[in-house]
Amino acid sequence: MSEINRGAAHLNATVLANKRVGQYHQIVLGIGDLVKNCRPGNFVAIKVGGDSSKMILRRAFAISRVAESVSFGGTMELIVAPHGSGSKWLCSQSEGAELDIVAPLGTAFGIPTQPVNALLVGGGYGSAPLFGLAEVLKSRGCKVDMLLGASTGGKIYAPMEGKRSVNSLKIYTEDGSMGELGRVTEPILKLVEDKAVDVIYSCGPMGMLRAISEITAGSDVVHQCAVEEAMACGIGICMTCVLPVKDDSGQISMLRSCIDGPVMDGSQVQWHLVGQVPEVAP
């Protein structure tokens, strides 16, 4: 056996709930004991469209949170934006439907061993996995502040129960329709300069992740970001979801965001080379 995909299983999961939350769907799947393998940052790959579908590839979704209860056993919650034909199909599944899933996949957010000041930054529905992460950080005694941003208020995902697991929550929208007018990255520079934050956890569009990496560059702040790159397989065999990442020796490699990510060290991702091929020989 290999370490890659360790803990992942391929199984049928039942849709226990599917409800609209603003522009998103909150979908809860019964996954039984598999919850024990799931960590904040992991993702799930779901077969879409049914058996006769022309969509042959799975769709990857960040696991928003997992829970265990007496009545439902282990459950996994996803926040899905019905954008493409695959996610629309998923959002149309009703309670009781069976889904073919592979989970948990990918690297998880690193959890500090000491209580630290953590800043969680989410863009759009990228905030989904941050609430599960916030609960874990809180239980380790961390101070957890959260910044959420989106183009408009309808695209902010911030459930009531999630707000309880953070010390503070600030919302930014580019059109000012919710929270403060502006980008979610704007307040970060001052927090870094004031040494008010030790670790930043981020999830959202690549532009946001890159902007945060540029702010934290040269500081002692650790930036763990969950990247988003188009994947065909989610399990490391197709080599489509690669990003240029520099290791400690300075060597740049094209790493797979499915198995070497989605959580990566923002300071090592070569953001300026995304979508290009490094000129130096590998």
- What is the binding site for other proteins (CB under 8 A)? 1-2, 4-6, 8, 10, 47, 54-58, 102, 229-233, 235-244, 254, 259, 274-278, 281-282
**Do residues 208 and 271 make contact, with C-beta atoms less than 8 angstroms apart?**
no
Q: How many residues does the chain have?
A: 282
Give least dist CB 251 to other proteins, A. Answer: 10
For residue 114, give both structure tokens: 């000491």
**Residues contacting residue 114 through CB under 8 Å, at least 6 positions apart:** none
Measured CA to CA, the distance from residue 197 to residue 116 in angstroms comes to 8
Q: Is the CB of 218 or the CB of 275 nearer to other proteins? A: 275
Judge residue 7's burial from the number of C-beta atoms within 10 Å of its C-beta, 0-12 exposed, 13-18 middle, 19 or more buried: middle
Residue bearing tokens 């009545």: 71
Q: Would you list the DSSP string of 172-189?
A: EETTSSSSEES-TTTTHH
C-alpha to C-alpha distance for 40 and 142, rounded to whole angstroms: 15
CB closer to other proteins, 3 vs 161: 3
CB of 188 to other proteins, least distance (A): 26
Considering the complex, state which of residue 101 and residue 184 has its C-beta at the smaller distance from other proteins: 101
Residue 2: CB minimum distance to other proteins, A: 4
Closest to other proteins by CB, 5 or 42? 5
Taking the least distance from each CB to other proteins, the nearer of 10 and 190 is: 10
CB of 57 to other proteins, least distance (A): 5
To the nearest whole angstrom, how small is the minimum distance from the Cβ of residue 36 to other proteins? 16
Smallest gap from residue 34 Cβ to other proteins (A) = 13
Q: Which is nearer to other proteins, 46 or 147 (CB)?
A: 46
The kind and range of the H/E element at 173 are: strand 168-173
Let me know the angle formed at the C-alpha of 68 by 66 and 71, rounded to the nearest 5 degrees: 130
Distance CA 150, CA 132 (A): 20
